[in-house]
Structure 1
Amino acid sequence: MRRLLLASALLACTAPAFAKTECTTTDRSTWQDPDQFQAKLVADGYRINKFKITEGNCYEIYGFDREGRKVEIYHDPVSGKAVKTEIED
């Protein structure tokens, strides 16, 4: 029983670390075209290695920014605005 309580407490403490990034709840018909969205990022100087649509309804890219830094960016697919950015120097 003690182990079960300890395991439950540990899981409760780590749960926020696994929270997904939510970008939008709007219907997909309102989203920007994924190919055009990526083309705009490339035109702006980004190099995209991987593009995906997340469970939280984000356009997520892995690649490099204009300065050549490795990035992971979650974008709102409606506005195109970056919602969460992780940069590795």
Structure 2
Amino acid sequence: MNAPLRHLIPLVAVATALLAPAAIAGPKCTDAPRSKWMPEKTLQDRITQAGYAIDKFKISGSCYEIYGKDKAGNRVEIYYDPTDGRVVKERIND
């Protein structure tokens, strides 16, 4: 192997290891302590009243996250700010 390339391999490995968690981590939704978050049931009720079906509801980092379906039947993954229920990130998989 070429000597200069041999020195790059460890650097690439370190950079990949440092960046990989950021690529798979969800968004940051709030800095508020959990005592300031709305009850899970409150947000679940809002989501279903808006026409969504929730398959899975969970806490993901500083967010509430759902996997489910929207009104059109598309699969969705949505991250919500747990303090006010606003959508922080949404992915639709039709």
Q: Please indicate, yes or no, whether the TM-score normalized by the shorter chain is above 0.5.
A: yes
CA distance change for structure 1 residues 23 and 48 in 2, over 3 Å: closer, same or farther? same
Letter in 1 for 2:82: P
Q: Quick check: 1:36 aligned with 2:42?
A: yes
CA distance change for structure 1 residues 40 and 7 in 2, over 3 Å: closer, same or farther? same
Displacement after TM superposition at 1:16 (Å): 4.1
Compare 28-37 and 79-88 and name the one that shifted more. 28-37
TM score, norm. by length of structure 2: 0.80
TM score, norm. by length of structure 1: 0.83
Q: Distance in 1 between matches of 2:91 and 2:41?
A: 22
Letter in 2 for 1:34: E
Percentage of pairs with the same residue: 42
Structure 1: runs of 5 or more not aligned: none
Q: Which runs of 4+ in 1 moved over 6 A?
A: none
Query: What do you get for the CA RMSD once the two structures are aligned?
Result: 1.9
Structure 2: runs of 5 or more not aligned: 1-5
